[in-house]
Structure 1
Amino acid sequence: MLRLFGALFLAFSAGAWALALFGQWPLHLGVAVSLMFSGAAFALVPWWFQVTADDSKPVVSQPAPVRPEPAREESMMPVGSVPAIMPEVLAPAKGKKIEIRRAYEAYVLACRRSGAQAVPPIEFVPLMQRLCGMLNIETQRRGEYVYLLDVNVNR
């Protein structure tokens, strides 16, 4: 029943616009009548109701419940701290240089040995560059490669 009244009010609203546009009514009157009827139509048929096929009673639509996924074993492992692990992995070596990729591989190996989860490479590089600044380890960039100078990896 509400659907019928809503459709009628919207039809009256369209009619008011037509009368105003074709000069039968003044424009301000057509706009006012149109807004009145369309507002009544939307007030009668709220957008959150879905009307059943027999128009007997509205059904409120609800979103499906969100179920959390079970935690994977990897996410339950503690994250390996770059500042805590890397000073143990790197050793001073005058005149040597290593690529940051080798430092990351050593970091991943140290994390596996300790049972911690390694941070992804995209997070490792800025953390390692910050750590190098704190430990006075010089870095060098050549194209895509970043090198750590005067250090070597402990095995």
Structure 2
Amino acid sequence: MVAALLFTITAFISLGGMAGKADKVIAARQDTLDAKAETKKRIDELLEERAVLRFTRTTQEAVDASKRLADAATAARAAECGNGDARQRGNNCRAKETAEGNEIASYARAQRDKASTDRADAIDSELKALRAQRLGNGGSVGAADPLAAVLEKALGAWATVLTSTWKMVTAVGFDLALVMLAIGIERLGDHRAGKPMNERRADTSRPEKTQAIEAEPTEQVLPASLHPKLVASNEAPTGSVRAIITANLAAAKGARVEIAELGERYKVVCRAQGKRAVPPAEFVTAVAQFCTKLGLKLKDVDDQLYLMDVQLTEVRETA
């Protein structure tokens, strides 16, 4: 009676364990399929983004060199044209202004190409990692139950019934063997101790004592409070690029304003306000950020950089 009860219990436990294992295998297989689908989707998105990038590969050294040329052109223009007074303009002032505009435009293009180069390199690195990850997943995903898949091809609808029956027979046979083995061991008894198994004494050995180690308290040192330092400066403040170009630009469909011309207007307004003009590099960066925020377009025409669909307003007199 006890053996029959033990057999019934172990049989149901084995069948439940097999069903639970099958569910885990199916769930793991689905997770693998979902991960592969996400990886493929991300690879396709990166390939599309990489395909639309149009740029000339540029290094940081090239950008720095372009910035130095722009600064040199600005210094040469200032030496030839003075501080804007017509009486200080030399014979080559207009040529120096044109050269300064060209160098500023070249510096802006170098910055755009460097940003596109960095993005392309990042896309290539991510694509390489995703492809390695996809190869590391082991290629294609097999069936959750290979035996059921083979029988389904051979027997069709009968495959499910046959597979389930085979699993049940295997589990019952295995459990029956375990029960018979347990009965045999019980009949033989424990010859090592000379007593039946149910009379063996339990181990009464005491567990080893463990000594708790207390950590020494550590003193927390609080950082000294930081006090702001007041720095006095007699240097005139710089003019706000965003505020000045906003006040001096107006929307005009089909019109365009050269970046160099916009830079000259910025310097004129700064002089009128008694403020310093920022360096050309900072001016170009601020204009690029301003255009990105407002959705304005920059266009390169004959090596000259233009702001599209805007025009300069009239110079306002400043008291």
Normalised to the residue count of structure 1, the TM-score between the two structures is 0.49
| Structure possessing the higher radius of gyration over alpha carbons | 2
| Structure with greater helix share of residues | 2
| Structure with greater strand share of residues | 1
